[in-house]
Structure 1
């Protein structure tokens, strides 16, 4: 039976263990001196070690990766995604995270708080790239963990894991600036194979946007990635995004009853406290990028589901005030989706 634990944990800026960083740096030095490197460490492990070495460094520090390493991550993870179903059937316990949007430092803070894999199982709900300054670091770390722990670490597709969207909102420009357009196309091939929904213990339905009329309509990818709840709507309504629809509390109830589910867990929208309930706690929105784009005072949320389906929330406060994200030194000027509880973004 699904339950919610009322205690909410808050976490602020987390310090880095200097001993941990020192040991990792010693490992890298050792690896660099060993001629039989392929026999000892695969490129995935190298990227994991390199990516985690920036813990405790100034926010925005670039992780050094070669094009061959990144391409290898895309190819190998794509094979894993293709070998697993498009609708995942998962078991608790696990932790669920919402949008990350290239906020790599905050992703590391989430792992420090929730436990680095394989200490905990994870399900991410999409939108790993765009908006933030470090989309490449973010998606490469997530893909590396998927390769390393394919049965314990899961990634769903968000609307920004789509070429027509991330071509505009930053990821394309980041790939082009740091590598080349060909690598961006390799990422696109990988994103096209991501699963789009998950069901936890036959009771919690997880996706990026919102539900469908039937689970047999999984081919209707647009609604799963784009739809939004609206307390002022009965049934389905128009979406201000210009894509898909909004849906009311009645749609949530009908969907859950039809499929004998207890909860819809989705992402896709900024929410002020990192999580927000809808439809009498039948739906929860998670957003895991605190201080989103440097424009909002929102917290980041992560939901923990234990073996008994008890759900609790861990809240990540913004570590510091950040400037608006820019790509290549030029602000995109494109608006972000504001929190439902805010009339206008709070400027930083």
Structure 2
């Protein structure tokens, strides 16, 4: 995790016009601690340096942009528009650095909300991720795009089996680039290529079968990563759209 975060940050610094970061719900200290980031920092760097690095990372996460506009026609965000976001200006007015403790409904919706199950489910519904969270229907998407003169919302936050999934008659796309999420979902990943005229073309990344003989599976490596394997067993999964999920404590924001 440390190396991934640092690599992304270096890419953004080296190529500021080409690499843009958008904050997600895991860029919150309580959530990434639950998912093992704090322990990983301690395991790699020791108690004092590890906690210092984890704290500094989260201070940086609090400054990451919350959304991005492409040619003022495509808006990108992690979760969605939820119940509270009706204008792009509401997002622009959120002052950074900002933590989840700020209590902003706009921030909560941006990072945590999801579309409803399909285009036939309109309006706002309770979200199985936890109390106070919502899903939003295709009518909300259409109204938001019309009011803000947008043609598309691109968001992530959910594992979709084909790497991308269209919603609201194509006005919203859920994008998920990690293949075979957590080693169990067997999903494809995808990226979106935005071409001339803002034509969006998905490019699929198919999961690879595990190699027959892999250094990753050596007894020595397995022992080294035992603490991470234990975390993977304990932590709740990111829901896969269209598939039943195992029973977890749905009254907790840990249901990610």
TM-score by length of 2: 0.77
Deviation at 1:269, TM superposition (A): 0.2
What value does the CA root-mean-square deviation take over the aligned residues? 2.0
Query: How far apart, CA to CA, are the structure 1 residues paired with 2:60 and 2:35?
Result: 18
The aligned length equals 211
Q: Is the 8 A contact 2:158 2:238 kept in 1?
A: yes
CA deviation vs aligned residue, 1:8-50 (integer Å, no higher than 9, x gap):
xxxxxxxxxxxxxxxxxxxxxxxxxxxxxxxxxxxxxxxxxxx
CA deviation vs aligned residue, 1:317-342 (integer Å, no higher than 9, x gap):
1123499x964442442221232122
The answer to whether structure 1 residue 198 and structure 2 residue 68 are counterparts is yes
The answer to whether structure 1 residue 320 and structure 2 residue 206 are counterparts is no
Deviation at 1:201, TM superposition (A): 0.7
Q: Aligned residue for 2:33? A: 167
The answer to whether structure 1 residue 210 and structure 2 residue 80 are counterparts is yes
Q: Is the 8 A contact 1:170 1:327 kept in 2?
A: no
Q: Specify whether residues 227 and 254 from structure 1 end up closer, same or farther in structure 2 by C-alpha distance, changes over 3 A only.
A: same
Q: Aligned residue for 1:137? A: 3
Listed as ranges, the gaps of 5+ residues in structure 1 are 1-134
Aligned mate of 2:192, from 271, 285, 303: 303
SS at match of 1:251: helix
Listed as ranges, the gaps of 5+ residues in structure 2 are 95-105, 212-216, 218-224, 247-256
SS at match of 2:154: strand
The answer to whether structure 1 residue 340 and structure 2 residue 241 are counterparts is yes
Query: How far apart, CA to CA, are the structure 2 residues paired with 1:205 and 1:329?
Result: 36
Query: How far apart, CA to CA, are the structure 2 residues paired with 1:327 and 1:257?
Result: 49
Q: Aligned residue for 1:32? A: none
SS at match of 1:273: coil
Deviation at 1:217, TM superposition (A): 2.3
Q: Aligned residue for 1:273? A: 162
TM-score by length of 1: 0.57
Query: How far apart, CA to CA, are the structure 2 residues paired with 1:263 and 1:273?
Result: 19
Q: Is the 8 A contact 2:36 2:228 kept in 1?
A: no
Matches within 5 A, 1:1-348: 135-179=1-45, 180-211=50-81, 212-218=85-91, 219=94, 220-230=106-116, 231=118, 233-242=121-130, 243-321=132-210, 327-331=227-231, 332-344=233-245
Residues 229-238 or 182-191, more deviating: 229-238
SS at match of 2:234: coil
SS at match of 1:308: helix
